[in-house]
Structure 1
Amino acid sequence: DIISTLECFVIISLLAGMHAYVLLFCLILGSQYPSIAEEIKGIASSDPVHRKLFVRGLAWNTTSETLCAAFQEHGEIEEGAVIFDKATGRSRGYGFITYKYMESAQAALKAPSKMIDGRMAVCNLAYESLSYTNVPPDLGQRKLYIGGLSPDTASEMLLSFFGRHGEIEEGSVAYDKDTNKSR
């Protein structure tokens, strides 16, 4: 059987962090016994670490409902929530989406930037947000800070301009909470 690119991506993400001998054992078993491979995938899919996305760059008016609506195209959502400041009651500009199935989360990660309520939001697996060990060593050479933007500059304009020069992994404009203008 030929494994699809998405299945390879799912398998690689499941195996990240395993000891070499455990990894080798799982690969041998999975290649010889497809039912065991499906069982391993099922067990891994039951763990929310493979299904939960961290979404940052949300508009201040984004609700849990609009967040879920933006991500439901990739599959059934178990839970979705925008995080609010307990003292002020205002959005903190980020949230979480937990899919019912791991494949849905992987599908959403294929296009990590998404326009939600007029802002370009970016998602990644939630456990990656907590760990700096997954930061690629060349990130500093690929990431640009663009200052001095007009207050009316939108994320789409910035992405469109720089997209002419190559593929953009992610990008967004920082906005002032009070004025909703770019900083």
Structure 2
Amino acid sequence: MLTPLGSLEEEDEECTPNVYVGNLHYDVVSEDLTELFEQAGVVEFSEGIYSRGTGQSRGYGFVTMSTVKEAELAVEMFDGFKLFGMPLIVHKAARRGARVETPSHQTESPFRIYVGNLSLQVDDSWLKELFGKHGKVVDARVVYRHRGGTWSSQGFGFVTMATEKETYDAVYALNKQILAGRALQIHFEPL
């Protein structure tokens, strides 16, 4: 349930006009995010997140709207919206350490892990099995892109663990481990 907006000083400090945008196609740039999210209000800032080493998109970014109300509208409008053929994952971002509500179709767990540098043969079941050795896996998904009539892996995915301890255990045990000939790049996915 949305709370009425007062002045900026009266707003809960966890409420921000920041929006997380995930499952981005590699070709999406900040200007694409700005253009899309302007349909929900004034975009103060937008940024796709890129790998320092390769300069390649990491598949997510952030948009700052001018008000919390516009950020909430953006979540309503664009969560699940297909951009470049990929359904976006959009939810409110919070200040570091704060918890946020996630849309009902997403997992309730805040223990989500980004898994990068995946071999193209790795699928959801491989991720679930691998991470299952470190605790209960709530969800495991490789991100795919539709191109030329076929679906192909984007080389990254997301795993959600049941508890914080299991999340830490999995990240520390599996980061840089070899899976199908590639060293995994694993980090906590920001909410």
Q: TM-score, normalised by structure 1?
A: 0.51
Q: Gaps (5+ residues) in structure 2?
A: 109-140, 154-191
The CA deviation at 1:181 is 3.1
Q: Gaps (5+ residues) in structure 1?
A: 1-7, 12-37, 142-171
3-state SS, counterpart of residue 72 of structure 1: helix
* Code of the aligned partner of 1:108: A
Partner of 1:174: 143
Partner of 1:41: 7
Partner of 1:118: 85
Name the structure where helix makes up a greater proportion of residues: 1
Q: TM-score, normalised by structure 2?
A: 0.49
Partner of 1:83: 49
3-state SS, counterpart of residue 47 of structure 2: strand
Cα distance change of structure 1 residues 45 and 82 upon mapping to structure 2, 3 Å threshold: farther
* Code of the aligned partner of 1:181: W
The answer to whether the Cα contact below 8 Å between 1:53 and 1:126 also exists between their aligned partners in 2 is yes
CA deviations on 1:111-159 (whole Å, 9 max, x unpaired) are 32222122111110112896678579x9779xxxxxxxxxxxxxxxxxx
Partner of 2:66: 100
* Code of the aligned partner of 2:89: V
Name the structure where strand makes up a greater proportion of residues: 2
* Code of the aligned partner of 2:2: F
Matched, 1:9 2:6: no
3-state SS, counterpart of residue 27 of structure 2: coil
Percent identical pairs in the alignment equals 22
Cα RMSD of the aligned pairs, angstroms, is 4.0
* Code of the aligned partner of 2:144: Y
The CA deviation at 1:41 is 3.5
3-state SS, counterpart of residue 54 of structure 2: coil
The answer to whether the Cα contact below 8 Å between 1:10 and 1:103 also exists between their aligned partners in 2 is no
Cα distance change of structure 1 residues 139 and 69 upon mapping to structure 2, 3 Å threshold: closer
Larger-Rg structure: 1
Aligned-partner Cα distance in 2 for 1:123–1:97: 10
CA deviations on 1:47-102 (whole Å, 9 max, x unpaired) are 69420001000000100001111111000000000000010010000000000111
Aligned-partner Cα distance in 2 for 1:134–1:89: 31
Aligned-partner Cα distance in 2 for 1:90–1:70: 21
